[in-house]
Chains A and B, each alone.
Chain A
Amino acid sequence: MSRYFLYFVTLSILINAILFVPRILIDERYDGAISSMLFGVIIGGALMYLFTSSMFKFRGQGLPEIMRQALPKSIVVPFLLLMGSVSFISGALVLINYAFIVSRYLIPNTPIYVVLILFVLVASFGAMQSSQTVLYSTEMILVLCLPFLLFSIFKAYTNQNMNYDEIRAMIDYSNILPSWKSLSVSTYAVTGYISLSIFNRVFADIPKLKHRWAVPCIGFSILFTAFFVPIGILGTDGVNEFIFTWVSTADAIRMKYAFIERVVYIFLLVYLGISYLFAMTTWHVGSEFIRGCFSHYQPNTSSINSVLPNAISCIVFGIGTVIVGNWLGEDDLFSVSSYWMMIRSPLDICVVFSVYILSRWRQAL
């Protein structure tokens, strides 16, 4: 069962590393982005260790239940609402970002709100399933998508036009201390472990979370790839001129003998699936948090269809996503997402430490 935990973390690294990180880290590539990746992964990994071991003290319980037991309602309800919205917003940002990409590359001439309505419907449909269904679908879709993704990354590394000199030239800039922005962005990439606060309910029957050491390794290798492959292919200076860095990088790779010659289409389609998956899990986590605010609730683990609060929260945030996505421009999107990550990282640290304190408190009792 512990493999499901790895799926979530991998999923969030994949999404953040490819959609947001290149844009923001590459902007800061001469100002400490490289060291920020290393520090970010280390900080993220440490937080992950702390969080998972604290959560595992509460066998089979989600964060809403844990907080209800320990804290008064006047603290719990706002906290859960905040956590729920945070989770919803991180999913919504991915949806909006990908809607931009899709309406640019895959279905041009389609208004963005139509694409967003489709995305929101799919994400809500997925989010309203039970936690177990979300787990199984995550595994299923990742297993289907990852081979294509790994193969395109392999192609990128072995590509004739991949210039390793550019990467080596970039390494000169690795001994610069990172800025807060790039550090928080790198830490944010490894933030998938937060979803354990809901999925801990399903992990009741495993004694210990195995392979946690893999998380920093996966995190660092994906971040490294996401940062250096575009530089190696698009140039140390040229890379700065692209908006969707990885889409342009994939567009520069070709597979001469494949059925689809242009890797960019394989990449876009695979990432569509991964984005749906990410939105589905984050929205599921968000809706479960919000459901935890109501007193007469039951943790939703085995039933097939979920109850009203989930649906309502999904609809509210879905409508919000469509409106915001329609109103945001492309340049806004990136500044909004970088601000979002700068807010999000301290928030995650707060959550981790509060859960840690709760677990110590419980032990003391």
Chain B
Amino acid sequence: MNNSLIIGQYVPGNSFIHRLDPRTKITIIFFFVFIVFFANNVPSYGVLVLFALTCMFTSKIPIRFIMKGLTPVWFLIIFTFILHLIVTREGTVLFELGIFEIYSGGLIQGFAISIRFFLLILVTSLLTLTTTPIEITDAIEDMLHPLKRFKFPVHELALMMSISLRFIPTLMQETDKISKAQASRGVDFRTGPLKERIKAIVPLLVPLFISAFKRAEELAMAMEARGYQGGDNRSKLRELQITKLDIFGYIIFVLVIAVLFVTRTYG
């Protein structure tokens, strides 16, 4: 199993960030994604970085764990940095590197884009690290509620989302189990020519599909047997609630935006 990818993995905890209402977190991240693009100078980037790092520290998730989880993303960040460095032709020429001329504008641009990228990924992975998938779907269902007026199947969509999220770990386990069973029968998933390796996937995929379909059928039957009916009259086990914490969170975020615009204009 791929343990290095942490996006989508929830780490239980009881920090301020964990206890925020998922709607608050989603709203803040939604606006954060926009304001990241408003930063235009060192102080304004500083404000954003400070905000993101503060969130990270308050979440009490081990920093080493977050950083290790971002390893696949580091490559992308560095790649965009180098691309900007080489391609941008603004400002003064700093030095020549083989056939490339490195411009000061390129350096700045590269840094700016990499920081934006890093911030976006850090903040969004903090969302999934501190919020259970169920909370996220509940929040999305609640936030999409106005669309109901236009006959948009909000509840069904949320149900589909939570079911598929629920079954991701199950499918991963299943994949692990079947690939081990087939490896014991002599399948080699890791080495050998590409053609052979593609062929080796069939004994993995067929049992996986069969069990997924079977599981879906059983789930549907179990839901029907218990008289499941979606819709307006259905109550929830966990009601989402906006608390003082959330108001505090919003206030801080609005302050961050305010400071950002001040530094952007006068910094």
A, B from the same assembly: no
